[in-house]
Amino acid sequence: MKKKILLAFVLAAILATGTAFADHPSGFGIGIQGGGSGNWNGGGFGGSNAALSLKLPSVPIFWAIRLDIWDNYFGLGVSGDTYFIDSKLVPQIGLNWYLGFGIGVGCWGWNDTLGLGVSARLPIGLSWQPVPLLEIFLQIVPNLGVQILDKFRFPYGGWGGDLGIRLWF
């Protein structure tokens, strides 16, 4: 039992010092990403979306402002993720991987219904930087939260996937 507790503390210390593993540049990053999402209650994969990706210097949060538009649906969301693991996978070609935690807030309209939800996010992804200016990333983001409007639902969640490109200055 003591070994398990010690292992848990060591793992927590490693995750808490995630900036030591940081492989993303520390400057200003801006980009675009596209992807899709689905929720656990609705079954299949939902519609496509587009987002603006933003990383400010000295702030350890990767922001995304997302817009979803498809048949009889409109959604707008904001998310902020911090990476507690951001490490080299294949350093020779600039391939990295990351695992993080974030918060997302979204509102949507479906036919005549207005919805609002808040969720915890777990971004897991690959990041390729062939040159310091350019990053191409692919991520999967499971999430779990609460739907506040039009009906209260807990747990409420789903998953998303994004492919994006970011420029670093």
Q: Considering the chain, what is the average pLDDT of its residues?
A: 84
The sign of the dihedral angle between the CA atoms of 147, 151, 152, 153 is negative
Cα–Cα distance measured from residue 107 to residue 116, given in angstroms and rounded to the nearest whole number: 4
User: Is residue 166 over pLDDT 90?
Assistant: yes
| CATH number for position 78 | 2.40.160.20
Model pLDDT, residue 22: 54
Residue-wise pLDDT for 126-140, tens only, equals: 999 999 999 999 999
Count the domains in the chain. Answer: 1
Q: Are the C-beta atoms of residues 122 and 98 closer than 8 Å to each other?
A: no
Model pLDDT, residue 169: 94
Provide the domain limits for residue 79: 2-168
Q: What DSSP letter does each residue of 50-88 carry, written as one string?
A: EEEEEE-TT---EEEEEEEEETTEEEEEEEEEEEEEEEE
- Going by pLDDT thresholds of 50, 70 and 90, the confidence category of residue 1 is low
Cα–Cα distance measured from residue 124 to residue 137, given in angstroms and rounded to the nearest whole number: 10
Residue-wise pLDDT for 87-135, tens only, equals: 999 999 999 999 999 999 999 898 888 999 999 999 999 999 999 999 9
Query: HSE on the CB side for 155, CA within 13 Å?
Result: 8
